[in-house]
Structures are given as structure tokens and as C-alpha cells.
A and B are shown apart, each in its own frame.
Chain A
């Protein structure tokens, strides 16, 4: 291998290497940053529950965004698959419970969630086979094109989806027949929080499992994984399907808690936004995705209240600052902060 070729192969592996360097170890909570964020989020949820009556709704929004971000992080951060069309699964989940309720009278929320996950997973399996045949920009564009196609279908299939007017007549029964969705959003908050805890719990367990480890292996070094006998394509498809199902569940939660579905849940800008959230938090670290979802949603809410006309300027500024000064995202920032604290303590 000539010098130049060698340099090239090293620099070619660089983007992946950069992504993987944000990944520290497999086990969640191994680093202080993960633990700190977990504790912080737990306390935040508790405080919101007890004292933040006015923020229950926003809380459920945050929880839903977290689940969605988690699903994208599993793809982008873990398996190294890029997507600019993940809203398709989110939206499909939302429309699944919406259509099931409005047209079929299936208003039970928990089974609706399951149904949404399954439907999204099915679409994930079909498109995943095709999307995973490509990589890089081609892959990005394919995910986007598929998502746009589904958006168009939903737009056109007016009798089923309500088209641009949104789906009318959707009703969601009380959870377990007991807890009705109220205007204060307490039910929605607790419900989404419960689903979030379950999803995060499963995700943490999964990342500690042989399966999760093999995904990290694929992202870090695809060829090497093949060389230890892994069918990389199958493994990637499986995570694609799983990520689709999770996104579908997140979308279903949004539809159930807001009791409304509009075309915007399928829109390209949502796909872009969720990718931004994952990058903001720090890709490849589950707790980073959660932190990104929290910070982004809160900032958006506060900024758009403070400056309804120009809030996206401040949001842009925040993102730019993060890119320039926190290359590993918010969680990288937390890590750095903790290590500084740690150093001071040991002095």
C-alpha cells in the first residue's frame, strides 16, 4: 500500500471514526455523563409531575420526542445507518392509531400502540431491504424519497387520512378503561412517561446484550464483523425494523395524546428535526439522544414563546454554538464538565 493510499484509507475511515469516538463503551451508565443525565431526567420528570402542572403537556411532548430520538439514534448512532426520512415511521404510527380509531372504532390505546409498532415495522422491513443496499448520500436520499412518497400517498388518500385537513373524528378510550386523557395532560404525561421508561429500559438492556454489541461492532468495523461470521445485512435490517417500530410507537403516542393526526407528522422537516436532535445530544449515546430531545423541545417551546417571530434564529444560534464548541454534542459537554469537577475534587 502506497503512502498516499494509506493516508487515504485512514482519512476515509475518519468520519466513521469520529462518530464512533462519541461512543464510549457499551454498557449504559458506564460513564458519569450517562448516569448524571439519567438522574437529572428522573428528577426533572418527578419535579414536573409534582409541581409543574402547566408543563405536563410539554412533558409528554418531550417524552414522545425522546422515544423518537432514541429510535433514530439506534440507527444513526449505533448501526451507522443515515436517514433523512424517519418521520415516515413516526407518521405511519400516528396514522395507524388515528385511522384505527376514526374508521374502525379501535380506540383502546395500549393495543393501538402495539398495532402502530407492528405496522411501522412492516414498512421498515419493506423499505429497509432497499435502503440498506446503498450507503452514504444515496442512502440518505432513498430514505427521503420513500418518506416523501408516503407523504404524497397520505396527502392523496383523503378518504382514509383526511389529506391536508388532518384526520377527523379520532377518539381514544381511557387507558385501561380508567384514565381519561384530560386537558391538563396529566394522563398524557404519565402515559408517555411510562412508555418512555419501558422503551429506555429495553434499549439499555439491548445495548448490553450480545445483539447490541454486535451492532456497535458493525458500525465500528463492518468488514471485521463479517470476518467474525456475522451476516451484517440481516443484522442491520433487524435494527432498521426495530427502529421503525419504535418511531411508530412514538408517533402513535403523539396521535393518542393530542387526539389528532395531521400530515405534518409525515413531513420532511420532522425527519430533519429529529436528526438534528440526535446530533445535538450526541449520536451513539442513548442518554445523549434523550438529552438532545429535552433541550431541543424546551428551547423551542421557550424561544417560540419569548420571540414567536424569530425563535428559529436563536435556535440556529444554539445549534451553531454546539457544533463549534461541543463537537460531541451536549453529552460530550456533560462528560467534559464532569471530568473537570472530578479533577477539582481529586486536587
Chain B
């Protein structure tokens, strides 16, 4: 197995007496597709926020591509290749779909400070944006404002923005949440097409999706890792079943 692209060592976060992440040890290898599951309030989003730097850990460390990034800001982690999508759409709603992607491309290419437009450069970036949109079947929507898109397509724009940043590690926070089952097909296709050298960590409640793609599954409960293994191992794990179906509680 290749060296992990993303690792955490004893990552811990507590607010006063309340512990939301308990000494989490985790690693993710390039080219793998891992799922993070757990009941509501298990600390999945907290874990992602710790990984991306939105909240600082109480102790422990985050290693990205062999480098300790625990003290780095959100944006420098992004620049080093850790990119996330959001559970609730956090797109730039009044911009067009293409502009959403261009915004990310500009930042990725270090163009964000350019105070004057350059038509030639613009064309190149536009082409790149449409190339990404094409992969997600969004190219026909490029000129539409995001808020005009159906929700399912908006979720795809979310992924398009992430891909524009050329991630090494992609954290997907419930990419299929809020999408009618009839529309999940596109998401599935997109996930299938993701490059094989990318490491993907997906938080998802849709077990169809999880079991279809994940090579490994981590189950988080009350801020701690309850189980980690292949989908088969997890599906047959009694503790996990209990957590999900409420076994062990006597009525």
C-alpha cells in the first residue's frame, strides 16, 4: 500500500467538558474511496472541520502529503491539495455556473489578485472551466445563474468547484443530500469518473451510494471511531448494527 496522503494522529477536540472528537487516528491513501458514516451528531462534520482547519483541534495533528498542516490556515491547506465540498449548498448564487468555477480556477492559478482583466488569459481559463463542467455534464448550464439551477445540478457545481482546485484529497460532505432519488444517477456517474489518483473521503447517509463506492468505511460514534473496515466487514459488524437500529436499548 502506498503512503497515506492524509493522516490524523490522535486528533482531539473538546469544548469544555464536551468532547466532539476523541483521539481520532485516520489515514487515507491516494486512489482510495473511503466513506465516513455515523448517526446524527456523531461528529462527522466536526471531523471534516478539523481536517480542513475551520476549527483548531485541542490536541493531535493533521498530516497532508507528509507535511504537518495542523497549524496552517484553511486556505493554505486548500493550496496544498485538500479540498472539500459542503453539505448545504454554499455556492455563489448570483454568479453564473461558469463564473463559480472560474472563481476557483483563478484562485488555483494564483490569479485572484489580478486587478485588471486579460482577455487572452480569460479565454484559457474559460476553456478550462468548460472542460470541467463538461465532465460533469454541466456545460450547457455555464451561462445560467446558479440559483436558476435545479438542486441536483447545484450539487454538481459544488463538485465542479472542488475539481477546479485540482485536489489531491477531496472531502465530499453529503454530495447526494437533498437530491430526489431520481436524480442521484448523475452524482453516481460523476463519482465513478473521479480520477483514480485522487483520495476521496465521502460523508454520506445514502447507504446505496456508500456501499456502491467505498473501498473502506469508517464509522464514527460520539466523536470516536467505532469501526473501520471494508463494506462487508462493516455491514456485518454487530456493534454498528446496534448503533443504527437501536439494538441494546430495552423498551
A residues with a Cβ closer than 8 A to B are: 9, 17, 20-21, 23-26, 205-206, 208-214, 216-217, 220-221, 223-232, 235, 238
CA distance A224 to B92 in the complex (A): 8
Query: 1/0 contact trace for B110-138 toward A, CB 8 Å?
Result: 01111111000000000000000000000
Closest A-chain residue to B121, C-beta based? Answer: A210
CA distance A205 to B93 in the complex (A): 22
Known: A211-B114, A228-B107, A228-B161. A221 touches B102 (CB 8 A): no
Closest A-chain residue to B92, C-beta based? Answer: A220
Which B residues, 141 to 185, have Cβ-Cβ distances below 8 Å to chain A? 145, 161, 164-165
Asked whether B96 is an interface residue with its Cβ less than 8 Å from the other chain, the reply is: yes
CA distance A224 to B75 in the complex (A): 10
Report A-chain residues with C-beta under 8 Å of the C-beta of B54. 223
What distance in Å separates the Cβ of B109 from its nearest Cβ neighbour in chain A? 9
Closest A-chain residue to B112, C-beta based? Answer: A214
Checking A217, A229, A235 against B78 with a beta-carbon cut-off of 8 angstroms, the contacting residue is A229
B94 and A21 form a contact (CB under 8 A): yes
CA distance A213 to B115 in the complex (A): 10
The 10 tightest CB contacts between A and B, nearest first, are A229-B78, A210-B106, A210-B111, A224-B90, A208-B117, A226-B74, A228-B104, A220-B92, A210-B114, A211-B115
Report B-chain residues with C-beta under 8 Å of the C-beta of A225. 103, 107
Report B-chain residues with C-beta under 8 Å of the C-beta of A231. 73, 75
The number of residue pairs between A and B whose CB atoms lie closer than 8 Å in the complex comes to 103
CA distance A212 to B111 in the complex (A): 11
B108 and A229 form a contact (CB under 8 A): yes
B117 and A229 form a contact (CB under 8 A): no
Report B-chain residues with C-beta under 8 Å of the C-beta of A223. 54, 86, 90
Asked whether B99 is an interface residue with its Cβ less than 8 Å from the other chain, the reply is: yes
| Besides A211-B112, A223-B90, 9 other A-B contacts (C-beta < 8 A) | A20-B93, A24-B94, A209-B114, A209-B116, A214-B106, A216-B95, A224-B161, A227-B86, A229-B78
Checking A25, A212, A229, A238 against B94 with a beta-carbon cut-off of 8 angstroms, the contacting residue is A25
Which B residues, 55 to 95, have Cβ-Cβ distances below 8 Å to chain A? 73-76, 78-79, 83-84, 86, 88, 90-95
A230 and B115 form a contact (CB under 8 A): no
Checking B96, B117, B145 against A209 with a beta-carbon cut-off of 8 angstroms, the contacting residue is B117
Report A-chain residues with C-beta under 8 Å of the C-beta of B93. 17, 20, 220
What distance in Å separates the Cβ of B204 from its nearest Cβ neighbour in chain A? 16
Closest B-chain residue to A222, C-beta based? Answer: B90
A25 and B95 form a contact (CB under 8 A): yes
The 13 listed contacts between A and B (C-beta, < 8 Å) are A20-B93, A25-B94, A209-B114, A210-B114, A211-B112, A211-B113, A213-B99, A214-B106, A223-B54, A224-B92, A226-B74, A227-B74, A238-B113
CA distance A224 to B104 in the complex (A): 10
B83 and A26 form a contact (CB under 8 A): no
B79 and A229 form a contact (CB under 8 A): yes
